Structure 1
């Protein structure tokens, strides 16, 4: 057999071929880098669960939150990017305090949102399911000031944060300019977990309704952001 390691003339070039025993790419003893190191994926960001982890999607999502013309004038329909109805918001007709119920696609109660009776709708409480019991409190939404003409700043306190010394989340932006963000209370304002934009559409002569788009980052509780969208409308 010819010596395969000998130089072979190919025109003006010299080609040298070396023959060695094959190396199994699955044998860690013969590899400089373990195979697992080349296939490892970055760990996903931790989920932000406020209402329920079933509302946390691994991908970014967007929902249209449109006010419907009803007797109360405070009902909403929530549709996903494909146009399917995924949630409803129904406002109580007869109630001492303003109250709305967020329902899932099967019309099961997800959260109850209730005005706390403070001046100019400055404070709302959100409870699990169809409840307004203190033991089912999930979070409280508070305006930083009663009148906000230019910039919007609204604080969100989780139920575990009873002292309310520092907010767990902050809604920032300008409601009247149609753009707000939701970010953790201890982070820079640019680190948003969701954005809420508003459009006003005319339905009938002399009547208009608000339509919102909620864009939610992966792992962020969708029901939480949708409830904040409704409360943002109620506060203004």
Structure 2
């Protein structure tokens, strides 16, 4: 073992030794070039196997590789807290996505605050926690609620991440206050994040912050009406016509093909 190990490393290792099979721990202590890392990795493999609901088809190599990735990037504390946040792991690939997300976005110990949740719930809380930290000076609870609702309305983490990137490029001192109003408008009008709407919003945010509300309201109105106005198909028109005129006896004799032909001529 490494004689230069810190007290913290020794303490962490002592805490987990009784969770590892004695023979395995003994071999690691004798043979490993970095026994502390190897023991912690083995400990995480034990936890993964305990929490994993569907073990069929999951190789030991994959589990050990994931455990090593977690120890190498997070150490024991964050790794342990990620496991504590979940009641179980029903899909190891989805859990690895959580690990990758936490790694890419530098998730801290304090960012993980749920316990015994599902993987989707943990992912959502981490997304909201990260996005909420992108801008300062606004009501954190309100922002978290808005972000949760937007994610429910099919806005993606990447889109909202980009939203705050653009907001933070603004020179306006009131950009935080205006940005929360923009989110309110998007939510109120249920603006769907299709490319056309998203591009318009992104372009608007690159302008003066003082103009955001007026321009976003315009986008909201346009998006709302464009989503509602849609040309009905012949089939829909026939069903509507038949429903509204069911009392006419001779209507049935026309047949759908005849009605469709008449409608197409009118259109």
TM-score, structure 2 length as denominator?
Answer: 0.19
**TM-score with structure 1 setting the length:** 0.21
Which structure shows the bigger proportion of residues in strand conformation? 1
Structure with a larger share of its residues in helix? 2
